[in-house]
Amino acid sequence: MQTITWTGEMELGISDIDDAHRLLLEQFGRTAGSSDDDFHASFCTLVDTIEADFRGEEALMEDIEDLALNAHRAEHARVLGALHHTESKVAAGDIAVGRHCLELLPQWFLLHQSTMDMALAHAVRRAAVSS
């Protein structure tokens, strides 16, 4: 299973986003390494961590009136929908589907971070300059 380790190259230069992403990757690693007995609880913590990250990004976008908010929020909603669907299966004992989800998340995260979150970081910097 692919895991992601935070590196300085991943920094977007916006401390709130970078800190949230660091925490997210740490929890991702803990969940990936959890035993089957602990997997459900760890997966729920991962979903909670992702939800907090998304709320923070969306609040930031609202604060700067970022025009990309709706598209970014829709992307977050799609991911959360899949995670909540997966969590219900994990709660019912299907650990394999949860582990499969963990195999897909790194690819999604890296793409999302290098596209939508990078654009958000640029928007935050532009808003700071113009205020």
Of 105, 1, 120, the residue nearest 50 (C-alpha): 105
pLDDT tens per residue, range 26-75: 999 999 999 999 999 999 999 999 999 999 999 999 999 999 999 999 99
Q: What is the CATH topology of the domain spanning 15-130?
A: Four Helix Bundle (Hemerythrin (Met), subunit A) (1.20.120)
Amino acid at 30: R
pLDDT in tens, 73-116: 999 999 999 999 999 999 999 999 999 999 999 899 999 999 99
CA atoms within 13 A on the CB side of 112: 20
For the question of whether the overall pTM of this predicted structure is more than 0.85, the answer is yes
Q: Is 122 exposed, middle or buried, given 0-12, 13-18 or 19+ CB atoms closer than 10 A? A: middle
pLDDT at site 26: 94
130: confidence class by pLDDT, cuts 50, 70, 90: confident
- The predicted pLDDT at position 85 comes to 98
Q: Hey, where are the domains in the chain?
A: 15-130
Asked whether residue 131 carries a pLDDT value surpassing 80, the answer given is no
Residue 3 has pLDDT above 80, yes or no: no
For residue 58, which of 77, 85, 44 has the smallest C-alpha distance? 77
Can you give the pLDDT at residue 2?
66
